[in-house]
Amino acid sequence: MLSTADALATLLGAAVQIVGEATLPTLDALNRVLAADVISPLDVPPMHTSSMDGYAVRIADLAHGDRRLPVSQRVPAGHAPQPLAAGTAARVFTGATVPPGADAIVMQEQTEVAGNEVTLLHTPKAGEWITQQGADIRRGAVILPAGTRLTPQALGLAASVGCAELRVVRRVKVAVFFTGDELTMPGEPLKPGAIYNSNRFTLRGLLDKLGCDVTDYGIVPDKLDATRATLRDAARDHDLILTCGGVSVGEEDHVKPAVEAEGRLSMWQIAMKPGKPLAFGAVRRASAGAASTVSAAGAASDSAVPAETFFIGLPGNPVSSFATFVLFVRPFVLRLAGVRTVTPRALSLRADFTQQKADRRNEFLRARVNAAGGLDLFPNQSSAVLTSTVWGDGLIDNPPNHAISAGETVRFIPFSELLN
pTM, two decimals, is 0.86
Percent of the chain surpassing pLDDT 70: 94
* Mean pLDDT for the stretch of residues 229-237: 96
> Residue 111: is its pLDDT beyond 80?
yes
* Mean pLDDT for the stretch of residues 321-331: 97
- pLDDT band of residue 297 (cuts 50, 70, 90) is very low
If you average pLDDT over every residue of the chain, what do you get?
92
Q: Which pLDDT score is estimated for 248?
A: 56
Contact criterion met (CB below 8 Å) for 24 and 295 = no
Q: Which residue has the higher pLDDT, 142 or 66?
A: 142
- pLDDT band of residue 295 (cuts 50, 70, 90) is very low
- pLDDT band of residue 301 (cuts 50, 70, 90) is very low
* Angle in degrees, CA 355, 356, 361, rounded to 5: 80
CB-based contacts of 158, cutoff 8 Å, min separation 6: 26, 38, 143, 144, 150, 166
* Mean pLDDT for the stretch of residues 102-112: 97
CA torsion, ordered 309, 310, 315, 321, to nearest 10 deg? -110
Tell me which of 3.40.50.2300, 3.20.20.100, 3.90.105.10, 3.10.20.30 is the CATH number of domain 22-42+141-168: 3.90.105.10
Distances (CA, A) of 267 to 46, 243, 255, 396: 57, 14, 11, 26
CB-based contacts of 170, cutoff 8 Å, min separation 6: 18, 20, 21, 22, 293, 294
Q: Beta 277-284 vs 263-269: how paired, if at all?
A: antiparallel
DSSP state of 327: I
* Mean pLDDT for the stretch of residues 61-73: 90
Q: Which fold has domain 347-418?
A: Beta-clip (2.40.340)
Q: Which pLDDT score is estimated for 292?
A: 39
Q: Which pLDDT score is estimated for 194?
A: 86
Number of Cα atoms under 13 Å in the Cβ half of residue 100: 4
- pLDDT band of residue 303 (cuts 50, 70, 90) is low
Q: Which fold has domain 4-20+170-336?
A: Molybdenum Cofactor Biosythetic Enzyme; Chain A (3.40.980)
Phi, psi dihedral angles at 27 (to 5 degrees): -65, -25
Q: Which pLDDT score is estimated for 63?
A: 85
Domain segments of the chain as ranges: 4-20+170-336, 22-42+141-168, 49-131, 347-418
Contact criterion met (CB below 8 Å) for 404 and 383 = no
Q: Which pLDDT score is estimated for 88?
A: 96
- pLDDT band of residue 183 (cuts 50, 70, 90) is confident
* Mean pLDDT for the stretch of residues 101-128: 97
SS3 label, residue 384: coil
Rounded distance, CA 259 to CA 277, Å?
16
The yes-or-no answer to whether 4-20+170-336 and 347-418 have a common fold is no
Tens of pLDDT, residues 384-417: 999 999 999 999 999 999 999 999 999 999 999 9
Contact criterion met (CB below 8 Å) for 230 and 217 = yes
Rounded distance, CA 390 to CA 385, Å?
10
> Residue 300: is its pLDDT beyond 80?
no
Domain 49-131 homologous superfamily, CATH? Molybdopterin biosynthesis moea protein, domain 3. (2.170.190.11)
